[in-house]
């Protein structure tokens, strides 16, 4: 378990250093065993511009008994963060998956955000 965490932290360090060079807004994603979180972070001062998660009241309204699993919830969060980014007039971001593999819920969130018009 510890080795897995160390590998994830190493991958996240590499990604974040590259994004820092690009000086772009960053779509940072974190997942736990039950929930998924997404934030758009400004490059200048690391301030959170927009955020969404499976715990947000707006997202909770969209999640109902018919929602099958975690991937569908990740899609809803991806759509929500993309809408909030558009409202903040952000069209292009760099995708920071926080060292998680681009697979499953992370991929579902990214695809949903792209479908809503966010480019990365």
In tens, the pLDDT along 6-24 reads 999 999 999 999 999 999 9
Tens-digit pLDDT profile for residues 92-113: 999 999 999 999 999 999 999 9
Q: Is the pLDDT confidence value at 32 over 70?
A: yes
Residues 6+ apart with CB under 8 A from 118: 27, 81, 82, 85, 86, 90, 91, 92, 93
Residues 59 and 77 sit within 8 Å (Cβ to Cβ):
yes
Q: State if pTM tops 0.85.
A: yes
Structure tokens at 33: 């065993």
Q: Which residues pair with 31 in a beta bridge?
A: 36
The domains of the chain, with CATH numbers, are 2-115 (3.30.420.100)
Percent of the chain with pLDDT over 70: 99
Count the neighbouring beta carbons within 10 Å of the beta carbon of residue 53: 19
């Amino acid at each position: 378990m510890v080795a897995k965490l160390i590998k994830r932290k190493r991958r996240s360090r590499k990604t974040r250093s590259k994004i820092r060079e690009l000086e772009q807004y960053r779509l940072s994603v974190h997942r736990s065993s039950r929930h998924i979180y997404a934030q758009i972070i400004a490059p200048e001062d690391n301030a959170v511009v927009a955020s969404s998660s499976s715990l947000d009241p707006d997202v909770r309204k969209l999640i109902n008994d018919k929602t099958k699993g975690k991937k569908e919830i990740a899609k809803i969060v991806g759509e929500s963060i993309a809408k909030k980014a558009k409202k903040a007039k952000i069209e292009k971001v760099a995708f920071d998956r926080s060292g998680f593999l681009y697979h499953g819920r992370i991929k579902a969130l990214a695809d949903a955000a792209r479908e809503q018009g966010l480019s990365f």
